[in-house]
Structure 1
Amino acid sequence: MAALLKKLLIGTSVAVGMSAVGIAPAFAGSLTNATIGGTAATDYLVYGTSGNKTVLIPNTDANVQSILDGNAGTPTGNVELAASSEKAGFDFSKNTSLTGDIGGKSLTLSSLTASDWATKVSGELTLAQKWFSDALISTGFSNILSNPFLSGTAWNAFNNNGGLQRFSDPNISYVNQDDTTGEIKIGLAGHYDATNLLFGNLSNGQKALINSLRDPSKVGTPIQASEVVKYTYNGTTNYLYNFLATESGLTAFDDGVSHNGNYELKLAGVITPPPPVAVPEPSTILGLMAVGGLFAAAKRNANKKA
């Protein structure tokens, strides 16, 4: 009898253990197995944090991985892809990428090349044309688009002074996924106020004219624009950017301005189904029933003896 009870109780403990697996709570996942690649795989920088400053730390896979677990409220640094994009001699035909796994799928985030900006993305518009138009519309300067002279002036001042290169080197601060909805959030560190990045090469007179045409509801607000990141995920390759920043609470140690804005990009992710919940074998269920019967019989015998 004792031996039989021992075997049945072992079966019971296994069944209880399997039930516990089935009710484990879900958590938001972050990018894992992060590696740097691309045709310019060494052209990147890793920024950690020291207090409220971002500081350069060694370029290692471990450091890259360590800074990707933050979120909009608590970014923990960033990885700058194509870090030499604003330097003389930059090769605009090469890219630097960050690849990792999230939710059981591979995700690659990449800097942009000149050919990316020339890609047709909306009718006859190239990515460069669409992004610049979106930037003007989102920041309250849509009136400029109806004036060929002003829009051409703004574009030439931006493009002829390395504007596209400047927005091609995304600083990736975090990547995480909601395990319930599948939504992937990608944080880009940037400038909370990007006015100088967009219009810094205009003359004072040109700036005054353009500002006079700004949407009154936007006057006095910062001009915000994220860098652009190219992604490949679940068989799709496309581009992400937006024009809405939150304050990151950080600034770069070297200039006191960079990285003070956080731009959160969103991507519809795939929810990987959880492993099936283990169900006790019929023999285990019968064993549990037998245990109940044995205890009932033992109780009856005890009552008779009493």
Structure 2
Amino acid sequence: MTMHDDQVDVTTEVVAALIRDQFPEWSGKAVRLLPSTGTVNAVFRIGDDLSARFPRRLADAAEVLAVLEQEALASAELAQVSRFPVPEPVALGKPGAGYPMPWSVQTWLPGTVASDADPSGSDAFAEDLAVFVTSLRNADTRGRLFSGDNRGGVLAHHDEWMERCFEESEHLLDVPRLRQVWSRFRKLPRTDADVMSHGDLIPGNVLVVGDRLGGVLDTGGFGPADPALDLVSAWHLLRPGPREVLRQALACDDLEWERGKAWAFEQAMGLVWYYVESNPTMSRTGRRTLDRILESTG
């Protein structure tokens, strides 16, 4: 089942043809589709050291190229400050072989995504996560501010989206209770300046090796945002004990901690209903995050 009405599917045969045409130096490498809960890109492994990412949703090729170029710049910048392995941009591909949009190639990272290797009970993983978030927060914003897209600005600006989520979730969740939670979250004030942020620390974007943080994926959204945005990881990735380890390591005050919970709530509400049939793993991730938030709010 497709995840989006405007989804563009791509096969290993198409990817192999694109590589032969555009990057013949890699044409001898095996091409494998990676099983993934990712919703934005289809990911293929090229040999042992590269991965190719193909946008799933149909869009204007020039607009996609601009996004991929910006993501490559952001990924390269994050790689300079991260204390943990992250993919680095290698090349940008062009439309061809039946695929209508540009696509990207990155370095491949070993490890298991956190949705498959649950690190939620590991204090050591929480400590690693704090080190990663701190390294991003300490990066220079160079005067940049939140762009206004997606999460990371003003919570109340998401009211329209949240209303749709509540309506779509009537048959799935305890919506009256969740509305009450959002009515409090949306009013949380913020005075802190923007810091650099990954922006999407969900299980599918985090690699685990043993019970430690092995690397972080999907780094193209690196940019300035609410300092609480990367605290979504506390609710998407951790149980109560390690969650407190993360909070103490980052020295979060009550307000910042609650805003992080609010951003996780906003994201989780969308995951549950949108992917309930097309991506059950992602939908379950949203449910688990909401359960953790509700447990913490009493």
Q: What is the TM-score when the length of structure 1 is the normalising length?
A: 0.27
TM-score normalised to structure 2 length: 0.27
Q: Which protein, 1 or 2, shows the higher relative CO under an 8 Å CA cutoff with sep ≥ 6?
A: 1
Structure with higher Rg: it is: 1
